[in-house]
Amino acid sequence: MELKSSYPENNIVIALAGNPNSGKTSMFNQLTGARQHVGNWPGVTVERKEGTLKYKDNLVNVVDLPGTYSLGAYSEDEVVAKDFLLYHSPDVTVNIVDTTNLQRNLYLTLQLLEMGANTVLALNMYDQVEKRQQKIDIDKLSSILGIPVVKTSASKGEGVTQLVSTAVNIAGRDKKPLEINYGNELEEEIKSISEIVVMNNELKVKYNIRWLALKILEQDEHILEDVEHRLSARQLEEIKKCIQRIESKTGEESDTIIADMRYGFINELIEKTVKKSKSVEEKVSFSDKIDGIVTNRYLGIPIFLLAMWSVFKITFALGDPMIGWVEEFFAFLGTLASNLLLAVNASDFLVSLIVDGIIGGVGSVLVFIPNIFLLFLCISILEDSGYLARAAYVMDRLMSSFGLHGKSFIPLLIGFGCNVPGVMATRTLENKSDRMITILVNSFMSCSARLPVYVVFAGVFFPGNEGNVIFSLYVLGILVAIVMAKLFKSFLFKGAVSPFVLELPQYRMPSLKGTIIHMWERGRLFIKKAGTLIFSVVVLIWLLSSLPLGVEYASQHSFIGKIGSFLSPLFAPLGLGNWQSTAALIFGILAKEVVVGTLGVVYSVGESGLSTAIAQNFTALSAYSLMVLTLLYTPCVATLGAIKRETNSWKWTIFSAIYTFVIAWIIAFIIYQLGSLLY
């Protein structure tokens, strides 16, 4: 009610609810024309997303909720879904189910119907069910559940119009809650508890009473917390006796009995409505054979490392030739801009701003677009195929031995793209200690913003081995994250590691369209960032390189030269004692790409290119030291902001900024000093 009031009164509010990886976000994109990221793994959506659509004369607000297996929320993203469905009363709840895994998905469906939600059931991925030659009696399924049922394939846009039409037609109707017969023992206590809670007017208005009694018997801690504030001690004692009587009569906990009865109802429902062909078993066994190799306890991790190594080899084998073309373009652009400005008698100050500051600085970052896009393309293929979920599974054993929850792999993997959504994705972790550890080590995952730094330095100093060098940095980031997680688990967040349960999605052949869209959406953010934040920072750096007035541009006597010179002793033991690299690292905290942009400005690269400038000012060892420092040191301001939001603590935000810098400095120091002794 609270949220619905924020929408225009005549708008229809549709909530998309379903299990993780059931295709909700694909459906959301189909309905609203949005391009929210879709992944073939659980936990992609961790916060509520909203969009609109117009159907005939109706304006519809569509709300995509985080995936949840039930209305008994355990993690923060599940709480978001549960609260919206329970307290904000959408006009229609479209329950997206993965039809290839109907039994598990229908558990949430039953809970929605027992709650009294006005629901449409969308049998998503129905095309895959038909390929298996399975048949579902839609009319019978609809009749038994008492709700409309629509066949859909969100990824192909099939059934979407019918789904919208059905949802709009039933919007706002009163839906009689589904009542499952839980047997005499349970039904008696459901009735007794209902008679107690219905005496409280607030509970009577807020909840469906039978559903509330069931949630009490399931001992849902969020519901119990709400009820305890509204009932007397005597009433609470009566409820406690009801639960004890069930356990005494049956010898089992009440929530276990309820879950068993629901699954019994689902099994009977499937028995009546689904017909499977014999070929299904053959296809399942083929999928199992693939999993038998890629998730094998001995082969799983080597296969994962080989997959990631291949990603980097492909990225550089195909991307490097294209970098030359982009460099030539920016060199041409710089010459053209300089000639045009001089032709109209523009001041040297303006010429320097345009050519040295903007084209030189932003261009230094944008030349790596081919590598960035290729990296995102490869990751999209792995993700859409369903392999990355297997990678999380095989990493669980290694990670849990160091104190990291296996489910942490998903946020860490997302961190390879950008640490900000990686930090946000920790909401899928139920245990607070697991979540804090994952947040604090997420920035060690090498995000795409660091890639321009690696590409330029590896390309100059390690020609022919760029992929191997960059692969070593990614592995180093993972190892540091694992070691730090172990330390945090041992000293700051003690406690047992929670069991890891992850649904492995179906293997799918990535579609060309979907893969290109995923690559573009991620790459577009990189370009957008170059045109906004990085643009602003390189202009600032250019200004600091030009002031005070009269000083030689980008000299040691400029403001940026003085800042770099003042702090350079701190980095000298790492082989980075020149003021240019110090200034680049300091401003790189604003955004990691700025490290390259800053070097492009302070070296005033012009037509000679940044590669030539750094070849004259670094060695292979100091270059690797700088890459390690860039990988590990203080997260960018956007990531620090995400850490502040997710931990709600300045203490942990400041701690994260400082401890990562210390770790980075120590490791870069060891590498440089040992390297200096050996070479």
**Known binding-site positions for GTP:** 18-25, 43-47, 64-67, 124-127
Cα 212 to the chain's mean position, in Å? 33
Roughly how many angstroms between the first and final C-alpha of the chain, as a whole number? Answer: 69
Measured CA distances, 610 to 91, 323, 456 (Å): 58, 12, 8
216-222's contacts with Cβ under 8 Å and 24+ in sequence apart are: 216/243, 217/186, 217/189, 217/190, 217/193, 217/242, 217/243, 217/246, 217/254, 217/255, 217/258, 218/72, 218/254, 218/255, 218/258, 219/243, 219/254, 219/255, 220/71, 220/72, 222/73, 222/79, 222/82
Token pair for residue 80? 């978001």
DSSP string for 506-523: PP----HHHHHHHHHHHH
Q: Are the CB atoms for 415 and 642 separated by under 8 Å? A: no
Cα 281-285-290 angle, rounded to 5 deg: 155
Rounded CA-CA distance 21/51 in Å is: 19
Residue spans of beta strands (DSSP E) within 223-329? 274-275
Rounded CA-CA distance 45/427 in Å is: 10
Cis peptide before 505 (omega within 30 of 0): no
Q: Are the CB atoms for 199 and 91 separated by under 8 Å? A: no
Rounded CA-CA distance 191/209 in Å is: 10
Q: Is residue 453 helix, strand or coil?
A: helix
Q: Which amino acid is at 478?
A: I
Nearest to 81 by CA among 38, 104, 111, 53: 111
Question: Which segments are annotated as binding site for Mg(2+)?
Answer: 29, 32-33
Question: Which segments are annotated as binding site?
Answer: 18-25, 29, 32-33, 43-47, 64-67, 124-127
188: how many CB neighbours lie within 10 A of its CB? 15
